[in-house]
Amino acid sequence: MSAPGTFTVVGIGPGDPELITLKAARLIGTADVVAYHAGVRKQSHARRIAAGLIPAGAIEEELRYPVTTGTTDHPGGYVGALADFYEACAVRLAVHLDAGRDVVLLAEGDPLFYGSSMYLHDRFNDLYDTAVVPGVPSFAAATAAVSAPLVRQTDVLTVLPGTLPEPELARRLADTDGAIVMKLGRRFPAVRRALAAAGRLDGSWYVERASQPEERWLPVADVDPESVPYFSLIVVPGDSAPRADTGRLRASAESSARAELSEVPEPSDGPGTAPDRRAELLVIGLGPGPDGWLTPEASAALAEVEHVVGYAPYVARVPQRAGLQRHASGNTVEVDRARFALDLARAGERVAVVSGGDAGVFGMAAAVFEAVEDDQRAGRAAVPVRVLPGVSAVQAVAARAGAPIGADFAVVSLSDRLKPWEVVERRLRAIAEADLVLAVYNPASRSRTTQVARLREVLLDHRKPETVVVVGRDVGRAEESLSVTTLAELDPDRIDMKCLLIVGASSTRVTSAGQVWTPRYVR
């Protein structure tokens, strides 16, 4: 019995036969079997590209899709129809492999870049000797067509399918330097709107049939949506990304001091008054997560600002729109983030610093005022700060549980990043002795794994084991969970950074329906 044949997926580039690599050409020219996909009622583009390389004696296997973008009566829908198709293709090609024939599967562009060939490779990878030969991807040919540098130096490149929801596409376009948008076709109008909302429409290029004789490219703004074929994409060069000039902002801040921008602006005289562009920084609480928990005041303010600054997951929650620039950063640079926002505001920009929950509860508001104080010591122009409240995490968890903070309560963060653990423990003892309901933020993290256990020990010195404890995780999000336990049964190993704890007072109780509440009275 002969040894099984090899299965090789060969990238043949975007369309120009001269962009096929030497290795791909060699493997195609010596293949026993050449396979290629074809669209419904269409000739195979892959075969057309490699036609001059296929040996006269090779067996050809055309793998024709049963459906592409149309409807199907398959009981499993589009996904089910394609899964059955790939399985049938695998059966056909396995016959050749088992007979000892080497099979080459042609793949347009690069095989592993949105390529259909990967589904057959997945099926054969553990059964036969397999390999993948890379090819020139379509976006490389498209970028070459417009002769626009896609990314430079430390620019970030993002590849996006145009099938993403429009708001998500706009957000991601605003958050990157260079971008490629694939899968256009009927999605082109939505993609164009997303580019406009992200402020990336100007400077973006539409390219169709890159490297092929029918190649066409023009500014996205000039494209007729009715003319967009499947073989098209959009190139968004990194040079087109709006960038904040921090040096210019710092210089502007210094000159602003001399211009007495520190004066608090007078209220508007009413309708028709020109907008006041003097410096002001907004600090906005976005709430715990759901759009319905964002206040109308916060929503209206976010619709007016030109810059949003904050921790990346919070910035991502702000809808992208035309004219909005986003400045996301990590989780431990709060004061640096605040200083950057103050510089923007001092230069006359409309700026909002965003924070999850309420910005004043372990959020960005305090960091902003810390940066303001530093500015005052350095003699820089003061920037008025306006804090807009949001629904806090403790409010959200308490509401889900019932009314556990209906009486006097205290709030403590277990993080010891900004204060010694000895201070945290001293405050926990004072709260326990005062018999206050306790809300606990930041209970644990990957680097802080012992604090919840110690919290439990400290509280049990003053509270009964049956003291009620509410554990809320990701409240307001799809992964939300809420449980009610006792201090004695609280499992520290099940608590992480996504949790907020509410430890009841001696008077806190649980209803027959499982809801937690604390009476307003003390007897």
What span, in angstroms and rounded, lies between the C-alpha atoms of 440 and 501?
A: 5
What span, in angstroms and rounded, lies between the C-alpha atoms of 349 and 242?
A: 14
State the pLDDT at residue 243: 63
Asked whether 506 and 522 are in contact (CB, 8 A), the reply is no
What span, in angstroms and rounded, lies between the C-alpha atoms of 223 and 232?
A: 12
Residue 389 in tokens: 């409240």
State the pLDDT at residue 448: 86
What DSSP letter does each residue of 160-172 carry, written as one string? Answer: EETTS-HHHHHHH
Asked whether 201 and 221 are in contact (CB, 8 A), the reply is yes
State the pLDDT at residue 258: 36
Q: Judging by DSSP bridges, how do beta strands 402-403 and 385-388 pair with one another? A: unpaired
Chain Cα centroid distance, residue 47: 38
State the pLDDT at residue 329: 82
pLDDT along the chain (523 residues), means of 10: 90 96 97 94 91 96 83 82 92 96 96 91 94 96 93 93 92 91 92 92 94 93 90 91 53 38 36 53 94 94 95 90 87 89 94 96 95 92 94 96 96 92 96 96 88 95 95 92 96 93 97 96 81
State the pLDDT at residue 266: 37
CA dihedral of 456, 461, 462, 467, whole degrees rounded to 10:
40
Secondary structure of residue 106 in the 3-state scheme? strand
Residue 334 in tokens: 């709060």
State the pLDDT at residue 41: 80
Q: How many CB atoms lie within 10 A of CB 177?
A: 20
What span, in angstroms and rounded, lies between the C-alpha atoms of 398 and 392?
A: 10
What span, in angstroms and rounded, lies between the C-alpha atoms of 364 and 282?
A: 11
300 conformational bin, left if phi > 0, alpha if psi -120 to 50, beta if neither: alpha
State the pLDDT at residue 6: 96
List, in sequence order, every residue forming a beta bridge with 205; answer none if it has no partner.
219, 235
State the pLDDT at residue 148: 86
What span, in angstroms and rounded, lies between the C-alpha atoms of 241 and 221?
A: 16
What span, in angstroms and rounded, lies between the C-alpha atoms of 113 and 138?
A: 9
Cβ-proximal residues to 483 (8 Å cutoff; 6+ apart), any chain: 470, 471
State the pLDDT at residue 270: 41
CA dihedral of 77, 80, 83, 85, whole degrees rounded to 10:
-60
Secondary structure of residue 517 in the 3-state scheme? strand
